[in-house]
A and B are shown apart, each in its own frame.
Chain A
Amino acid sequence: MNSITAQYIAWHYKDGYKDLKNFCKTILSFVVYFFSVKTLLQTFFQPWRRIMERGQKGKMFSILQGFVVTTLMRIIGVIIRIIMLVVALVALIISCVIALVSLIVWPLLPILLVLIFIDGVLHFV
Chain B
Amino acid sequence: MRNNFFDQTYNKIDRLESTFSHAKRRKLRKAFLILTLLATVASVYPDYRNQSTGLIFIFGSIYGFFSLVEAFFYSVFNKIKEEKKSFATLSSISGNQYKGIIFHVSKSFFGSLLLYRLGIINDVASDMTAIVTEETLMGNESTLSEHVDITATTNLGALMFSLSKVSPTFKNILEKHATTLQQLTHAASWLERLYIKEIEREKWWSEQNLFKTQPFASDWAYGQTDTLEKYGSFIPSEYSGAESYQGEINKIELVLSKPTSPYALVIGESETGTLTLIQGLAGRISETHDKHAALHGKRIFMLNTSHLFQIVKNGQDFEATFSGVLFEAERVGNVVFAIDNFSLFIESAQSLGVDGIMLLVSCLRVSSMPLIVLADTHLYFQKIQKHTELSQYFEVVQTSIKDKESLLFYIQDHVLQVEGMYEVTFLYQTLEVIAESAERYFEGEALREKALDLLIEVAEVVKAEKGRVVTTENVLSLIKQKTGIPTGQINEEEKEKLLNLESLLHQKVIGQNEAIVSIANALRRSRSGIGKHNKPIGSFLFLGPTGVGKTETTKALSDIFFGEKAPMVRFDMSEYSGADGLARLIGQNNSSGLLADAIRERHYGVLLLDEFEKASKEVHNLFLQILDEGFFSDSTGKHVNLRNMIIVATSNAGSAFIISQTGEDLQKNKPDIINQIISQGIFRPELLNRFDGVILFESLNQEQVGKVIQLMLKDLSHRLEEKGVEILVTDELVQYLMSHGTDARFGARPLNRLIADVIEEKIAEGLISGNIMSGAKVSFVQNEQGALDIKQM
Residues of A near any B CB (own CB < 8 A):
2-4, 7-8, 11-12, 15-16, 19, 23, 26-27, 30, 33-36, 38-40, 42-43, 46, 48-51, 77, 80-81, 84, 109-110, 113-114, 116-117, 119-124
Within B55-83, the residues touching A (CB, 8 Å) are 55-62, 64-65, 68-69, 71-72, 75-76, 79
Query: Does the CB pair A43–B62 fall under 8 Å?
Result: no
**Contacts of A40 on B, CB cut-off 8 Å?**
217, 220
Report chain B residues within 8 Å CB of A35.
Answer: 215-217
* A121 B54 Cβ-Cβ under 8 A: yes
Verify A117–B57 contact, CB threshold 8 A: yes
A110 to B67, CA, bound (A): 11
CB atoms of B224 and A119 under 8 A apart: no
Residue of B nearest to A117 (CB): B61
List the A side residues contacting B291 at CB < 8 Å: 38
Report how far A119 CA is from B61 CA in the complex, Å. Answer: 10
Report 15 cross-chain contacts, Cβ distance below 8 Å, ordered by A residue: A3-B12, A4-B15, A19-B75, A35-B216, A36-B217, A39-B218, A50-B333, A51-B223, A81-B220, A109-B68, A113-B65, A116-B57, A120-B54, A120-B55, A123-B53
User: Is A109 a contact of B71 with CB atoms below 8 Å?
Assistant: no
Q: Hey, which bits of chain B sit against chain A, CB under 8 A?
A: 11-13, 15-16, 50-51, 53-62, 64-65, 68-69, 71-72, 75-76, 79, 205, 207, 210-211, 213, 215-218, 220-224, 291, 297, 331-333
Q: Is the CB of A123 within 8 A of B215?
A: no
Minimum Cβ distance to chain A for residue B554 (Å): 71
- Return chain A residues, CB-CB under 8 Å to B218: 36, 39
Classify the secondary structure of A's interface with B: helix
Question: Shortest distance in angstroms between B674's beta carbon and chain A's nearest beta carbon?
Answer: 74
Nearest chain B residue, comparing its CB with the CB of A8: B72
Q: Which of B15, B54, B215, B220 contacts A49 (CB 8 A)?
A: B220
Enumerate chain A residues within 8 angstroms of B224, measured Cβ to Cβ.
49-51
Chain A residues closer than 8 Å to B64, beta-carbon distance: 109, 113, 116
| Chain A residues closer than 8 Å to B60, beta-carbon distance | 116, 120
**Are B71 and A50 in contact (CB-based, < 8 A)?**
no
Interface secondary structure of B, over-half rule? helix
Given that A12-B68, A80-B220 are known contacts, is A7 also in contact with B11, CB under 8 Å in the complex?
Answer: yes
CB atoms of A16 and B12 under 8 A apart: no
Instruction: Specify which chain B residues have a CB less than 8 angstroms from the CB of A34 in the assembled complex.
Output: 213, 215-216
In the complex, chain B residues whose CB is within 8 Å of the CB of A114:
61
Task: Find chain B residues with CB under 8 A from A30 CB.
Answer: 210-211
Residues of B within 8 A of A15 (CB): 75, 79
CA distance A123 to B224 in the complex (A): 59
The answer to whether B54 and A39 touch across the interface, beta carbons within 8 angstroms, is: no
Task: Knowing A49-B223, A120-B56, say if A36 contacts B216 (CB, 8 Å).
Answer: yes
Give the distance to chain B from A15, nearest Cβ to Cβ, in Å.
6
A60 to B51 CA separation, bound complex (whole angstroms): 79
- Bound together, the chains give a CA A43 to CA B53 distance in angstroms of 51
Q: Which residue of A lies closest to B52 (CB)?
A: A123
B642 CB to closest chain A CB (Å) equals 56
- Report yes or no: A33 in contact with B68, Cβ–Cβ below 8 A: no
Other-chain contact of B210, A7, A26, A42, A50 (Cβ < 8 Å): A26
In whole angstroms, how far apart are the Cα atoms of A117 and B58 in the complex? 5
Give the docked Cα–Cα distance between A84 and B64 (Å): 35
Q: List residues of chain A with CB within 8 A of the CB of B207.
A: 26
CA distance A99 to B333 in the complex (A): 37
Answer whether A26 and B205 are a contact pair too, CB < 8 Å, given A117-B58, A123-B50, A124-B51. yes
Q: State whether A46 touches B221 (Cβ < 8 A).
A: yes
Q: Are B217 and A39 in contact (CB under 8 A)?
A: yes
Give the distance in Å from the alpha carbon of A40 to the alpha carbon of B222 in the complex: 11
Residues A36 and B215 in contact, CB atoms below 8 Å apart: yes
Closest Cβ–Cβ distance, residue B521 to chain A (whole Å)? 64
Chain B residues whose CB sits within 8 angstroms of the CB of A117 once the complex forms:
57-58, 61-62
CA distance A117 to B59 in the complex (A): 8
**Distance of B695 from chain A, by nearest CB (Å):** 72
A82 to B93, CA, bound (A): 58
Which chain B residue lies CB-closest to A116? B61
A16 to B58, CA, bound (A): 24
Collect the chain A residues with CB atoms within 8 Å of residue B68's CB: 8, 12, 109-110, 113
> Bound complex: CA of A84 vs CA of B218, how far in Å?
11
Q: How far is the CA of A123 from the CA of B62 in the complex (A)?
A: 16
Contact A50 B72 (CB under 8 A): no
Q: By the criterion CB–CB under 8 Å, are B61 and A120 in contact?
A: yes
Q: Write the chain B residue with the least CB distance to A115.
A: B61
> For the complex, what is the distance from the CA of A11 to the CA of B79, rounded to whole Å?
12
Please, which residue of chain A has its CB at the minimum distance from the CB of B62? Answer: A117
Q: Do B57 and A23 touch (CB < 8 A)? A: no
**In the complex, chain B residues whose CB is within 8 Å of the CB of A50:** 221-224, 331-333
Report yes or no: A120 in contact with B57, Cβ–Cβ below 8 A. Answer: yes
Q: How far is the CA of A42 from the CA of B12 in the complex (A)?
A: 50
B residues near A19, Cβ cutoff 8 Å: 71, 75
Query: Which residues from chain A contact B51 at a C-beta distance below 8 Å?
Result: 123-124
B25: min CB distance to chain A, Å: 13
Whole-angstrom distance from the CB of B12 to the nearest CB of chain A? Answer: 4
Chain A residues closer than 8 Å to B216, beta-carbon distance: 34-36, 84
Min Cβ gap B53→A in Å is: 6
In the bound assembly, the distance between CA atoms of A30 and B208 in angstroms comes to 11
List the A side residues contacting B71 at CB < 8 Å: 16, 19
Closest partner residue, chain A, to B11 (CB atom): A7
> How far is B57's CA from A120's CA once the two chains are assembled, in angstroms?
5
* Bound Cα distance from A35 to B210, whole angstroms: 13
Partner of A33, one of B54, B215, B222: B215
CB of B208, distance to nearest CB on chain A (Å)? 10
Chain B residues contacting A81 (CB-CB under 8 Å) are 220
Q: Which residue of B lies closest to A110 (CB)?
A: B68
User: Do A16 and B215 form a contact, CB below 8 Å, given A123-B51, A123-B53, A123-B57?
Assistant: no
A49 contacts across to B, CB distance below 8 A: 220, 222-224
Q: Are B211 and A36 interface neighbours, CB within 8 A?
A: no
Q: Which residues of A contact B69 (CB under 8 A)?
A: 8
Q: Who on chain B is nearest to A125 by CB?
A: B54
Q: A36, A110, A119 — which one has the most chain B CB atoms within 10 A of its CB?
A: A36
Beta-carbon contact of B75 and A11 below 8 Å: yes
Q: Using Cβ atoms and an 8 Å threshold, which residues of chain A touch B50?
A: 123
Q: Is the CB of B54 within 8 A of A122?
A: yes
Residue from the list B13, B54, B332 in contact with A123, Cβ < 8 A:
B54
Closest to B65 in A: A113
Contacts of B57 in A (CB 8 A): 116-117, 119-120, 123
